[in-house]
Structures are given as structure tokens and as C-alpha cells.
Amino acid sequence: MSTIKTERRNLTKSNAHYKEAVKHLPLGVSSNFRFWGEKETVFVKRGKGARLWDLDGNEYIDYRLGYGPAILGHCNDEVDAAVREAQSTGTVYALGTEKEVTIAKLIKEMMPAADLVRFSNSGTEAVMAALRLARGYTGKDNYVTFEGSYHGLFDATMWTADPESMKDQSRDPVLISYGQGIPKLVRQLFWQVPYNDANRLEDVLKQHHDSIAAVLIEPILGNCCGIPSKPEFIRAVRELCTKYNVLMVVDEVKTGFRVGKGGAQALYGIEADIFTVAKAMANGYPIAAIGGKEEIMRKYGKGVAHGGTYTAQAMSLAAAEKTLTILRDTDAFERINAYGKAMQEGMHKVLSRRGIPHSFTGHYSMSGLFFSAQAPTTYRNWKLSDYTFYDTMAGILIDMGVMCEPDSREPWFISAAHDEACLTETLSKFEQAVDLTLDELSDGGDHEGDNKLMPGISG
């Protein structure tokens, strides 16, 4: 039995703020997924670098980074200065600017599949625009997605394998929508196939390619433990799309400018027909981009609609220019990867010493920690696993000031601002949290700070 005890942190001000907030905002927040319970919902005062502080002054090392965007750390001085400078020339004019060409060139330089680029405001918007482009270009309406993927809060992709129906793994799971308000009619437009299973994809494409515009794929399942594509799988997806005359749309909203300069496409040596990037491209300022092959992208304006009042808004462009330049010209990616590797090695030592089976998924910059010797390779495998240990431990870590994701499906994100001090503190607290979790679970008791398991959505 461990003798360490952790006090539940003081959330008096956050709790009081929740009571006020809920009078004005449903669930007291601006995204359903920020509500962690009446007593657990955290309200942030400020962030700097790899740390953030809540209303009660609790300090956390942040491994959520706003679900990924803060790749250089919160309030990066250079990015923020560029944004302030841009502010003096105005925000939106419903006209083009020079800056959008500068950023388009930067994206093209870093991501070779981009012959041309268009901007959006969020990941959701970019994926919607990419899907519309694929449909407009091919003249086909249907599409394929993969189990466990997440592509944003829009009707076409808000469908998931029902966890309940996955208990019997001999049958395909039942597909359900992420909630109410999503028309059942949409279900007729797509097929959802198991991740990392090229044979199942080919079965669908062989039969239905005449009506399928696109295969929409996340190269790493950023909302399902960071399960990565097997290299042979994603290359097969590329080949199958070409073979069956279907566009490969790679959703790099999370992986783009995070797993490396060229995103996951460079990592796997593939090129999309169309891809999307968002989160890490502007260190938290709202902007996204769609990139792709010239012939396809030129359909924008020649039959396919795209636009929006705030697209390529000046401050987000300025943030993107500075962020992408830093990512291109400095050793930020190397430092992020080195940190992620050292953190995994440290956690591995702690867990191995205690004989706790575990594995890591994803990429050093966005990795999942998994409590079984074999990491899951599909959403179906994940569902079969026991995630009680993770969920208990995450609640304890958050109480101790390590802001990891309470849902085991979300990866831990690393920024270039995570430093040696963060690493030492994280590993020391991780060791204590593991022992406390072992105690908790052997007692069969509940840790007071447990967070509710939320749906695997980062929006």
C-alpha cells in the first residue's frame, strides 16, 4: 500500500463560476465537452508556455493544449506580437490580401500535396469544404469513413460505432449518430469500415466506387487513443483510391504541423488528393486550410462554392505565418519529439517496475497511453480493453497539477514549451498517481476527483 495521499485541489472559484455560467450558457460552457461535472468543471484564468492556471490559482502542466493547437505553448511571445501588429491594419475586408499568398506558399513548401490552398476558420469547416470539393470534382455523393475517426461537428461525419454493439466482436457494430439533430437520411450516404483494414475498404470500393467521391481518413486517430495507421494500411488506402477512382482526403487537422513539417503524409510517404490542416498551424488562433492537387482545387470557383466572412482573417494569418516559420526554421519538432520520447521512457520505467502492462500509441507529439501490453489497432480493440486504470489515474493527475486528458481516447499533446522542469515534475507526479491508482483500485473505492468519461470528441 502506498502512503502517499493527494488532497483534492481547491476548485471553490471554478465551482462558484460554474453556478453563474450555467445561468447564461448551456452546461456553463461553450462546448459540451468542456463540462466535466458541476464540481469538476475547470475555468481557466490564463496560460503561458506549457502551463495554465485556473480561477483558483491551481497550476497545471498542460498536456491537452486546447486539443492540440498550442504547439509552441500558450501565449507565445513572437506569435502574439505578430498578431498585435496585424491588428493595426484591420481584420476583414471581404477582399483578398497579400498575406494569404505568403501563408499559402509556406503551406505548399511544407506539405507537398498542396498545389493550391484555400483557408477556412476551423477544422470542421475545412473538412466540410474538402468533402464538398471531392463531391463537386467527382460528381459523386457518397463517401467512406473509418471507425473511431472524428472529423468535426457536422452531420456528414458525426456517426460512430455504438460501443454497446461492439461487445459482440463477431459482427460489425451498429452505427449511431453522435446525438440528436443529425438527419437519419445522412446515414445513406456513407460507409464506415474498420481502421487498419484495407481488405474491408476494398470490399466497399469494389462494389460501390461508382457512387463514392472520397475516402476520408485520419492518419492517426486523434480522438481514439492516437491509434496510428499501419504504414502498409495507409499506403494501401492510397493505392485503392487511385485504383477505384475515388479521392483520398487526408484529415490532418490534428497531425498537420504537429507530427513534423510535412504532417503525417510525409511521415508515411503518401500524398493526398485533398488534405486539411488546422490546429497547430497558428498556435491557437482560429484558422484552417484545405490543400490539394491543382486540377481538383481549381474546381473552387468553377462550380464548387467556398468562402466565408472570416476566411483568411488578418490576425489568424499573422499567427499562422509566425507559427509556421518558427516550426520550419527552428528545432521545435525535434524538441517536441525528444520530450515525448523521454516522457514515454520515464512512464515505461515507472509502470514496468510495478509490473503494469502498458503500451503507447500514436506519435511522440500526440501519444496515447494504454494499459495493456498490446496497443489497440482499431476502435473495436479499444472498446474491448479495460480503461478503468487510465480514467482513475487521469483524475488523480489532474488533481496533482498534470492536466492530461481525462478520456483515454484523447492523446497527450506536447508543445515546444514543455521543458526539463515540466518533464521532471510530470514523471514524479505520474509515479505517485500510479501508486495512488493501484491503491484506489485495490480498495475498490472512487477517487473524489474522478472525471466523467466523455464522448471521444475534441470540439
Ligand X SMILES: Cc1ncc(COP(=O)(O)O)c(C=O)c1O
- x/- site string to ligand X, residues 211 to 230, per CB under 6 A? -------x---xx-------
Which is nearest to 371 in space by CA: 358, 383, 362, 384?
A: 358
CB of 7 to ligand X, least distance (A): 33
What residues from 264 to 283 belong to the interface with ligand X (CB under 6 A)? 278
Q: Of residues 28, 49, 73, 123, which one binds ligand X by CB under 6 A?
A: 123
Count interface residues toward ligand X (CB under 6 A).
17
The DSSP element (H or E) to which 14 belongs, if any, is: helix 12-21
The DSSP element (H or E) to which 145 belongs, if any, is: strand 142-146
- H-type alpha helices, 290-419: 294-297, 314-329, 332-353, 379-384, 388-400
DSSP one-letter string for 152-199? -SSGGG-EEE-GGGGGSTTSPPPEEESSTTS-GGGGGGEEEE-TT-HH
Cβ proximity to ligand X: between 52 and 281 the closer is 281
Cα distances from 267 to residues 228, 314, 355, 360, in angstroms, run: 11, 31, 33, 18
CB of 283 to ligand X, least distance (A): 14
Q: Cβ-closest residue to ligand X?
A: 123
Cβ neighbours, 10 Å, residue 13: 15
Task: Tell me the three-class secondary structure of 401-423, residue by residue.
Answer: CEECCCCCCCCEECCCCCCHHHH
409 is a site residue for ligand X (CB under 6 A): no
For residue 21, report the phi and psi dihedrals to the nearest 5 degrees: -60, -40
CB of 254 to ligand X, least distance (A): 4
CB of 355 to ligand X, least distance (A): 34
CB 121 within 8 A of CB 287: yes
CB of 291 to ligand X, least distance (A): 14
CB of 123 to ligand X, least distance (A): 2
Cβ proximity to ligand X: between 124 and 437 the closer is 124
Cβ proximity to ligand X: between 47 and 123 the closer is 123
Strands 190-193 and 274-277: unpaired
What residues from 9 to 68 belong to the interface with ligand X (CB under 6 A)? 67
Which residues sit opposite 51 in a β-bridge?
48, 61
For the chain, helix (H) and strand (E) counts, in that order, are 13, 18
Cβ proximity to ligand X: between 150 and 430 the closer is 150
What residues from 233 to 252 belong to the interface with ligand X (CB under 6 A)? 251
- The span of 123-131, 191-199, 205-213, 374-382 binding ligand X (CB under 6 A) equals 123-131
- x/- site string to ligand X, residues 124 to 163, per CB under 6 A? x--x----------------------xxx-----------
Residues that bind ligand X in the complex, under the rule CB under 6 A = 67, 122-124, 127, 150-152, 218, 222-223, 251, 253-254, 278, 458-459
